[in-house]
Structure 1
């Protein structure tokens, strides 16, 4: 049997009486103000008591009850005590005018006679709950309210009763009614009082234990003191004798201490000089090793600070003249997603997760302007003429921004995430790569949509060929699609990768398309017909690809297998391989093809000699490297990391080789003639005689036939003083 409290307007008494009679017929105890308020008592307090003692609060909704001040007070009291509130609609009311507590509950409609039985059944379901928990909830509420009114600690729960109530509350988790705030406070103070009692008992026991131990300790100490007093008398005599000996030894020790300090000072000075000389010698060794200029500089600094010398001073002066010069460090509030230089190399742009696309001066790192987008800027590229910056963000917003003043020329919203932006060099068109598998082509000046290219699956990258004839995309399903924009027709589609396409780039002459995927393959295809020429397997995902801008003769790939590889474009032959400390994310080649820059998860930017693979610089970053780029003259390098830092360095101090030659095997020896008019070089058993004045006309891979082939591998070459004779020795013993 449930205890019900029915709140109604006096103007709805007839309907209320009928419902009360039905509830009593169901066996419920119904509290109603015309029956349960004794005369000459505070009627409102009695109503509050009736609400607090009820299991279910039923509110009869009508235009009269929602305006009744007493009815609204009763609703508030029921909500304060976390009572189950069941609204029953007698007559239609304005929902907005209804008490907020009632308006957010489900209503039972009893407006017409035909709804009565259905409404009565729903009311019965709403009332019949876990009455044991409701009874316990009411008892707990009554005890909590009594404690709250009197503030007597003796009214708090203790011992077995506290544990019982805690168990019931835990078991009723998720049931209605939920514990009220005052019940939670009551249980919390009861728990706190119980813990305080336990701690008091434990503390008392601990004090008794400590006092007992102190008594035993005091007795032991007294006995020990007696023994020590006897022993002290015996030792006093010995001490007098030892004092005489100690006085003699003290004078000797003082003299020895002076000698030791003097020796220690001389030893420390010798050690400092030896350490300084050793660091200076190591600095000289590292100074000539590729990529170890920072190590050499640190060793030279250590040598100078330990013991200054002309040798360390000379090393420092030379190293400082060769180190990359930090120009400036700038910041985005989130990771840097893109970085690109304009065609003249005097400006570069970055796009960040903070929703900003910023243009910076390459010479001093000063901000030209920052444009704001609604969400993360995923790409920002310059127009071929350098007059505009085009950005795309995760909200789908594409903006064409004037470089001269940072104002927005035009805009377009794709309605979905924009992952990549590219601009056709000769087409005055923008390719917008969208998350929904479309490439939208926009007019560069107006940002008006011209047409869409549809791809199966999601895509994140698309690119125009340098000559503007082709556009290619790579999808998350590994599909590479190539369109010929000049001839039209159906695109060439192929599933070149088993997994997402992560990188895609055309050769500078637009003859080749190379794609890299999560499957570890780099696939090269001919753009004229889409024919696959070869595929290059890596040990992990291929994350970026960059061509030699000068002649398309080679390209570089980087991978999560921590390797950087250089490949000959025509046949896919590997020409160089370098290693980095962790996953490599990005690679760029300088405009003259001499330098290669990489960055990634090892938090460094590394610059390599593209001809030899020698590491020239290793520059530390604060976060994982994400993007980077060279200025058009190769003398400026910029990089952005996952922390949002953007760094610019002047790397024009790097000594660039004037000419270089590539041999097929290990070079045995290289010698100039005394007059400098000949250069002799060996490769295994083969020997070339080269005219230094003609080296610049040779390519890196074509040397022609050797002048001489001998028995065994060449170990040494030497010219005669007059340059007319060349001496040769081999590992086979021939001279």
Structure 2
């Protein structure tokens, strides 16, 4: 039997051959399933191997055999090494693989470097891996033979297994449940033997004392193992939650986070483990902050084509390939199943009064149902599939779109009113204008047509490069949106003029609908996502992609907004309907307005404004609630920093053009420093950071030219400070204005307010990127590329090192009360720390490097700026270690309907929030 088992998908055979050959040259003992045998013939090989290598690719994700082999290896507690051959279209990757470190062997990767990494991984903890495999095999044999005591470990081998179990509880692969039971059975057998021996050589009292001591020792050992096991479970649930969230399965991630939180809540002794607490709180916060999925309707046995909210929001109807229509309550309760169609049901739509439901089928019929589920009328509508049914705004007409290239108009009693003919392909979309006077159709011939109700063709809209799958009038009737197999959405004016084209989906778009207020457009696609587009209601141009909703495991077809616009339902190939919460998040608000990296963000001293500086050459002013107020556009180059004067009346900006600009709160330029007559005083390279003195009279600038300059507010250069030998990355005044701290790639320097050096030291092993004084002026925080934050007193004595980031740290800030420190890193993550260095939580949401952090002066609010072009406002009321219970309650409130109504939950999961 081989030591290494390799699992792969047959289309990847050529790609893995080079890796297989290289491993053979290293004399690695490998077994690979070249014959593609089923699991029943490979179980023994997986059992014998101490390591299982899984080659990840889109083919492998879809392979039933690969999935079975992976899950069998997981069940047996094998060490798993995922190798990525291609990282495109890896949606649906198994959560166990998602949480592990991947080795990349893509065509763009250096093969030799990747192979060295693979060898290093294979050799890591090899002794642990081999022991794990050996004791798993012995435990399985013991279990297979009715747990025969003669097969238990004894003597030194049992002691070795106990030591291994105790000291390796957190090393991957972790001990399995069967191994635990096997070692525990050996321990109990040993105890029984000890008891028999003691009974033969001791008096009853002596035996009792000794046995009591043994029993107590066994109890302590068992208790220690129990604690280790529970800790492992908490960590596992937390990591699984993060992996699921990363892979787009937010709802499942939230349930895993809840499991971690509840276990932590019951294990009182873990409250002393600050890192464990932070890990769980991070998972709970991440799910609550960024999750949009509120519920999942499961009950159909085949793909769900369409979904529709009733006008009063009290019902949800779904249409499926399983030939049924289902009626649900918004909480996910399945009320009734409507049967009657003889083929798959493609579409459903409620009448405006909510009393009638229309459904269209592949069998060419349309059924009209009442809310009790009784068929009122069956219309033999078309000779081919009915793809879409829609009621007119007054409910007097019903439009049906079909594969027979026509749209028909009907009275609700089944009387045919008219037929719209002219499309040259299957008609997939139909939409009445809000006034009910016109009708738009979308056809596979690539056309959008607008008709009168009498069948007169008013407009033909061309521009899509493939079939058009959907069309929708905006609520005010001024705009139409169309979706297409060319992966685009187009917006059209009333007269047929193309306004704009939206791109972003990776595959065919199945439909597009407007929110009730007309400010959001939702699109569904074969790429398994729903995208929300935020529109400028004045220009009707999309200002940004608001959000991408991920979680479906198959193409997304129909969608429906709730009447209040707070919920969106989406129907999918994966047999489910997901309900998404679209209202404002409680814990985060994302500000998207910049077109390039956001380099800095600052709250005004009074907390009523927020300013952001960007590489798009602008500074934006926002209200503290995230509403954009003004844009400062006089800058000719990238802007790296923005700051407020202490009274909040003046704003200073600096950047690539080496100048300082002063503005008022309305965005009017007041002054440029230095003036034209003193340009020789300006920096010789870009200015990275700027800061006002507490009295507002002095401005300090830190530049890439290795200098700090002090300016009078009127524009006079007071002094140039030349202590640094490389670019100065950040600068900070002490709260009393008596000192200035500056940091660069070389060192940290403390100056007095006149520019005299007070002290200088090298606090980190790598370049220092940020510095901040605590509000009381007693502590200085520095952030470095060495992945740490260090806290110092004013004399340069190290007080604390904050370790936990996995990447260089580029931003650091103190809260207004000085009790919390925020640090942001290259990977887009922000860690909050207590003043004593205890980690509180990691805030995850940015997709790129953190460039700036700013706490609100009064509220529990943190603003972060990132290279991902966004600013995030974080509500911190629920992210300290004293509110685990509150986070659990809020997460439970979020998933409450799902736990109550979903039919596929286990009893244990359903009771998660009891």
The structure with the greater share of residues assigned to helix is 1
The structure with the greater share of residues assigned to strand is 2
- Which gives a bigger RCO, structure 1 or 2 (Cα 8 Å, sep 6+)? 2
Q: Is the radius of gyration larger for structure 1 or structure 2? A: 1
Q: TM-score, normalised by structure 2?
A: 0.40
Q: TM-score, normalised by structure 1?
A: 0.49
